[in-house]
Structure 1
C-alpha cells in the first residue's frame, strides 16, 4: 500500500494541485494539519480535500480560523486567520472543527500529529527527531515546522513531508512524501508550482505582505530565530 503524505497546505491551491498531479500513484492521501491560514484559496483547498477524500488532522491554524489562537500567536498569522474565517462558510468551518487533533491509521502502524505526539502546538524540528518520539507505531508523521525531513530508527521512521503551501526550509517548492507501508519506506519529494499567481493574489486580497517574501524564499519566521519559536504558535 502506498500513501501520499502531505502537510501544511495553508490555503495554497496551486501548490496543492501541483503536488496531487506530480505525486506517484498512491492508494490514499494523509495530511498532517493546517489546511488553511496564510494562503488565498481556503475554500478551494477544503473542497479539494472533500472531493479527493484526503484524510487530515487539525493544525493550529485550522483552530485559529475557528477562533482558538492560543498563547503567543503572532499578529501576521492571526490577521491571515481572521481573513480566512471571513472567507469560509458555515459548512467549511464545521469541516475544520470536526477534524481530529491526532490519528492512528492502518491498524496503528502510522500515527499522525501536527506538532508532536500529544503536543499539537510544539515545534519538532529535524534535529529533534529521535526514537523516543515513537510509541507503538512504525511511522510517525509530523507537520507544523514546514521543514521537510525524515529519520529512520530501529523502531521506525519519523517524517515531516514538508509544507505544501509555505515551506520554511529554504526551498520554496511544495513538499510531499510517499510512504510504502509494506516496506515501511518513506521518500521525500519537491515540486514547483506557479507561486507568482499565489503571490499576486496575496497582494490583491490584502493579506500580510510578508507572505509574498516567504513564498519567494521558502522562509518565514517573522524576525525570530528558529529556536526562539520552539514554544510559540505561528
Structure 2
C-alpha cells in the first residue's frame, strides 16, 4: 500500500494544490495536522482536506483555533489563529476540535501523531528520532510533523517519518514538502515541489496578516 503523507499545511492553499498535483497515485492520503494557522486560506484548506484525507490528526493550531490568545506571545501564530477563527464556519471549527490527537493507519501498523506521541506539542527534531524507539514496540513506524523539517530514519527496522511542511517549510528549502509511505517495504520517499509563493504573500498583505509570515515562506526557515 502507498500512502500520501502531508503535514503542516497552515492555510496555504497554493502549496497544498501543488503537492496534490505533484503527488503520484496513492491508495490513500493522510494529514498529520495543522491544517490552519499563519496563512490566509484556512477555510479553503479545511474544505480540501476534509474531501481528500482518509485520516487527519489534530495539530496544535487546529486545537487552539478557539483560543488564539494561547499564542499571544507569537505575533505570526496569534494573527493567523485570530484570522482563522473568523474565516472558518462553525462546522469547520467543530471538525478541527473533534480531530484525534493520536491514531493509527494501515490497519494499526503505523502510529500517527502531530508532535510527540506522549508529550503534546513537544518538538521532535531529526536528531531526536532515536529517542522515539520506546514508543514503537507495537508498530512498524511512526508518522509525525510539527517541526516543519522533512526527515525520515529507520531505527531497529522501525520507520520514523516527518513529511515536512506543505505550507511553511523551516528546513531551508522553501518548496512544499510531502512524503509517500510504502507499507510493503516500510520505506518513505521524501518529495518537494515549488509553488506560487507570490500569490500567498499577496493574500497575506491583502488580509493584513504580519508581513513576516510571508517573508518566512521565501526563506524556508
> Fold match, TM over 0.5?
yes
SS at match of 1:187: strand
Task: Report the number of matched residues.
Answer: 219
Q: Work out whether residues 6 and 30 of structure 1, in 8 Å CA contact, stay in contact via their aligned partners in 2.
A: yes
Give the match for residue 224 of structure 1.
Answer: none
Give the match for residue 37 of structure 1.
Answer: 37
Aligned partners of 2:39 and 2:14: how far apart in 1?
Answer: 10
Shift of 1:110: 0.7
For structure 1, list consecutive stretches of 5 or more residues without a partner in the other structure.
Answer: 220-234
Residues 45-99 of structure 1 show CA distances to partners (whole Å, capped at 9, x for unaligned) of 1111122244210000111212176588623201210111011110110110111
Q: Work out whether residues 11 and 42 of structure 2, in 8 Å CA contact, stay in contact via their aligned partners in 1.
A: yes
Q: Could you tell me the TM-score, scaled by structure 2's length? A: 0.94
Matches within 5 A, 1:56-67: 56-67=56-67
Residues 175-230 of structure 1 show CA distances to partners (whole Å, capped at 9, x for unaligned) of 000001111111101000111100110011011111111100101xxxxxxxxxxx
For structure 2, list consecutive stretches of 5 or more residues without a partner in the other structure.
Answer: none
Matches within 5 A, 1:133-172: 133-172=135-174
Q: Could you tell me the TM-score, scaled by structure 1's length? A: 0.89
Pairwise CA RMSD of aligned residues? 1.5
Matches within 5 A, 1:183-202: 183-202=185-204
Matches within 5 A, 1:1-234: 1-67=1-67, 70=70, 74-130=74-130, 131-219=133-221
Shift of 1:42: 0.7
Shift of 1:33: 0.7
SS at match of 1:176: strand
Q: Work out whether residues 59 and 120 of structure 1, in 8 Å CA contact, stay in contact via their aligned partners in 2.
A: no
Q: Work out whether residues 5 and 29 of structure 1, in 8 Å CA contact, stay in contact via their aligned partners in 2.
A: yes
Shift of the 54–197 alpha-carbon distance from structure 1 to 2, 3 Å rule, reads farther
